[in-house]
Structure 1
Amino acid sequence: MKYNFPKSFLWGTATSAYQVEGNNNKSDMWAEEYSEGSPYRDYSGDAVDHYNRYKQDIELMASLGLNSYRFSIEWSRIEPEQGVFSQVELNHYRDVIKVCYDNKITPVVTMMHFTSPQWLMKIGGWKNPKTAELFATYCEVVFKEMGRDIPYVLTINEVNLPVMLKELFINLDFMPPVGMDAKSWTAPGWRESAAQKCGTTVDQYFTFHMASDEVSLEIVKDAHRKARAVMKKINPSTKVGLSLALPEIQAIEGGEEQAAKVWHDYFGQFISAIAGDDFIGVQNYTREIYGPKGQVPVAEGAEVTAMGYEYYPEALAGTIRNIAKELDIPVMVTEHGIAANDDSRRVEFIERGLKGLHSCMEDGIQVLGYLYWSTFDNYEWTFGYEPKFGIIAVNRDTQERTVKESGRVLGEISRNNALNVEGKFQNEV
């Protein structure tokens, strides 16, 4: 069967600056990598050198047939010291946007993808109410330079991730770093070392991923609102939103109340911040099932990804339908992906996810685009370079790019603006 998509549909992939550019050494995450006892498995180092290779990389995306690219601007590059803005770095990101347009690629920009400047830790990071205004000022500086060329912007990536991490590590004394794996957890001494590398003390050190209490969450929401206001003032035509990490929340008998609470924590409590947005970025990878005793483990024998969670592409459609029950707002799939060494599983993941996405659109839900995570096999935070999410492999010794079959498949879907799945998915869940 063939599933056609709207003419204006965005087809592409997503990255974050820290995970692909390399050498973001003014960022708080860089300090965490190099702290004593750091839980990060690898140093990010040069990453996939996208900072220097963006032109060739964007040309490669275009050659596949993709028509959009989501990337982030690194705050710590633009403002390496408080109040000091780098014209060189502003020019760099302006050129990234230009190269996108030169290749008929629509840029989708994220203003903050987890990482903050080290100097922000000196004043209390994301527990300091002033951070909202500081973030908005950074966004204002960027938009004065290039806002007229940014059609879609996300203020903050996965504003709810700290809440999800808190749920995961509820019995620990403090919040883990982004992408933390329970098995690699070590004593918290590394955080004191990270604070020191940021030029501050552990009591001031409060990164974005720690913002899970009521006070800091309000600061994050305030940062989103303030940033949205300044960017819309400069360029009213830019569509502004934020993104949420949202597994599909399901319940079996007796788990309905717990599932409802989790959905509120992950989504409902952010509706007030989304009010006034032009769209919502949805980032989905799997589902969570709740029963009378809490979250139900993945069923024995069920397929799991390299990250350990259930292989369930249909969660994307389920999540979007859950959102549509509470919000009448356009949706952009800003991440949907799978870590897998077997690329055929990635191909099926994409196609099954898109089949469900199309059904949502047939039911009247407005979906602006589908951006797969990720463009490359890149740096996955504390997991290092082991997980492979990309549609493009990278030899990190030579930085050579190799397009996978999944990249060719997604590119073909984009060129045809249609998904053809005749005879596929006979055994899907």
Structure 2
Amino acid sequence: MPQLPLGFLWGAATAPHQVEGNNVNSDWWALEQTMPGMQHRAMIDTALDLGLTPVVTLHHFTQPRWFADVGGWMGDQGIERFAAYVREAAGILDGVEWVCTINEPNMLALMVGMSRAAQSGDIETWTSPTVEGVTRPVLPDPDPKVAARLAEAHDAAREVLKQRTGAAVGWTVACQAYTATPGNAEKLREVSYVREDLYLEAARGDDFIGVQSYSSQAVDENGVVPHPKRPDNTMTGDAYRPDAIGIAVRHTWETTGGVPILITENGIATADDSRRIAYTSEALDHLFAAMDDGIDVRGYIHWSALDNFEWGHWEPTFGLIEVDRRAFDRRPKPSLAWLGETARSSITRS
């Protein structure tokens, strides 16, 4: 374990819709909206009371149906409406030190594009990016026009948050840790730009950039190489690549020009918890090696705290805590204690 900087964050991430759902037809849902002490601010206060440091993400893929029905992000008032939401949310962010405006805008841009294509009849169905088939599917490139729009929304949100909170502000990018096959360095730059670098460059004025990394993909003369089905693949069809986080962090640091990094997601979909520990241990070795080389990394947040609804199905299990979907029991896995001990060891060495 290296000498980590004071204040280095250790944690695990969760997303309410993916874990608990949003049962708006329940009388208890209505009660949550009106009963003192049960609103979303209560979660922040509880975290602070427990000595936890909340890292709040304001947009994690889902959005109001009415917003989508009037054009969503690409609508005439998309930016204004998002900024209005951020102004309202800022009112409960007192004491929150880290705020992410938008989760994985490069994936969000892809989803916006696919939704528009489905509505126009250009594609018949929306396919989950984590359904394992014969090969790991290669997703289409996000639309750069959508990327520009999301960057505009991010800028508007950052301005609001800077005026109304004392939080560090950034957004998080899905980093694929692309590598070039021999002779294809130029194609790698082309692919990286449209799929990641547009979003990393938009973070150059931010307080931090969130890196979300799981695996790596090769790029040949035709683009991203479909990952073949192999015995050691993860439950989502990804390659087992704990080194991906090091590749992603180094690329992010170079592309942003030195914006501080917060690992906001890293993990593995596996039913074998010993494999989760092995993957995470090696991933941390690669992360610490990058830090030893002078890259400013402020923390590591594991995905995910609990097994969750992952891109349309329950099967891929990323959690440090198992969830029984019938009885709703939650059972800590050995990886939870292992990560906790790893964090405690680093604190004593700081």
> Shared topology, TM-score over 0.5?
yes
**Partner of residue 97, structure 2:** 151
Matches within 5 A, 1:131-142: 131-142=78-89
Secondary structure at the counterpart of residue 39 of structure 2? helix
**Partner of residue 235, structure 2:** 306
Question: Contact conserved, 2:211 with 2:262, CA < 8 A, in 1?
Answer: yes
Instruction: Choose which of 173, 191, 194 in structure 2 pairs with 1:265.
Output: 194
**Partner of residue 7, structure 2:** 8
**Partner of residue 283, structure 1:** 212
Are 2:89 and 1:106 aligned?
A: no
Distance 2:143 2:131 in 1: 21
Question: Contact conserved, 2:110 with 2:143, CA < 8 A, in 1?
Answer: no
**Partner of residue 136, structure 2:** none
Are 2:304 and 1:374 aligned?
A: yes
Question: Contact conserved, 2:253 with 2:261, CA < 8 A, in 1?
Answer: no
Instruction: Choose which of 217, 224, 249 in structure 2 pairs with 1:295.
Output: 224
Deviates more, 1:386-395 or 1:247-256: 247-256
Distance 2:180 2:170 in 1: 29
Question: Contact conserved, 1:351 with 1:419, CA < 8 A, in 2?
Answer: no
Distance 1:89 1:129 in 2: 36
Question: Contact conserved, 1:147 with 1:231, CA < 8 A, in 2?
Answer: no
**Partner of residue 244, structure 2:** 315
**Partner of residue 331, structure 2:** 402
**Partner of residue 122, structure 2:** 173
Distance 1:231 1:88 in 2: 27
Secondary structure at the counterpart of residue 3 of structure 1? coil
- CA separation of 1:89/1:359 partners in 2, compared to 1, >3 Å: closer, same or farther? farther
Q: Deviations for 1:179-217, whole angstroms, at most 9, x for unmatched residues?
A: 46386xxxxxxxxxxxxxxxxxxxxxxxxx999434333
Deviates more, 1:258-267 or 1:360-369: 258-267
**Partner of residue 116, structure 1:** 63
- Aligned-pair RMSD on alpha carbons? 3.2
Secondary structure at the counterpart of residue 2 of structure 2? strand
- CA separation of 1:261/1:302 partners in 2, compared to 1, >3 Å: closer, same or farther? farther
TM-score (normalizing by structure 1): 0.71
- CA separation of 1:180/1:352 partners in 2, compared to 1, >3 Å: closer, same or farther? closer
Distance 1:390 1:419 in 2: 26
**Partner of residue 256, structure 1:** 185
Distance 1:166 1:259 in 2: 24
- CA separation of 1:311/1:121 partners in 2, compared to 1, >3 Å: closer, same or farther? same
Question: Contact conserved, 1:242 with 1:280, CA < 8 A, in 2?
Answer: yes
**Partner of residue 215, structure 1:** 145
Distance 2:45 2:4 in 1: 27
Deviation at 1:406, TM superposition (A): 0.8
Deviates more, 1:97-106 or 1:14-23: 14-23
Are 2:40 and 1:93 aligned?
A: yes
Q: Deviations for 1:158-198, whole angstroms, at most 9, x for unmatched residues?
A: 00014556999999924836646386xxxxxxxxxxxxxxx
The percentage of counterpart residues that share the same residue type is 34
**Which blocks of at least 5 consecutive residues in structure 2 are unaligned?**
134-138
- CA separation of 1:127/1:299 partners in 2, compared to 1, >3 Å: closer, same or farther? closer
**Which blocks of at least 5 consecutive residues in structure 1 are unaligned?**
27-45, 47-51, 53-76, 79-85, 184-208, 421-429
- CA separation of 1:304/1:166 partners in 2, compared to 1, >3 Å: closer, same or farther? farther
Secondary structure at the counterpart of residue 100 of structure 2? strand
Deviation at 1:140, TM superposition (A): 0.9
Distance 1:211 1:300 in 2: 22
Distance 1:294 1:217 in 2: 20
**Partner of residue 125, structure 1:** 72
Secondary structure at the counterpart of residue 245 of structure 1? strand
Q: Deviations for 1:369-396, whole angstroms, at most 9, x for unmatched residues?
A: 11110000111131x1111100000112
Number of residues paired by the alignment? 337
Question: Contact conserved, 2:217 with 2:225, CA < 8 A, in 1?
Answer: yes
Deviation at 1:300, TM superposition (A): 7.5
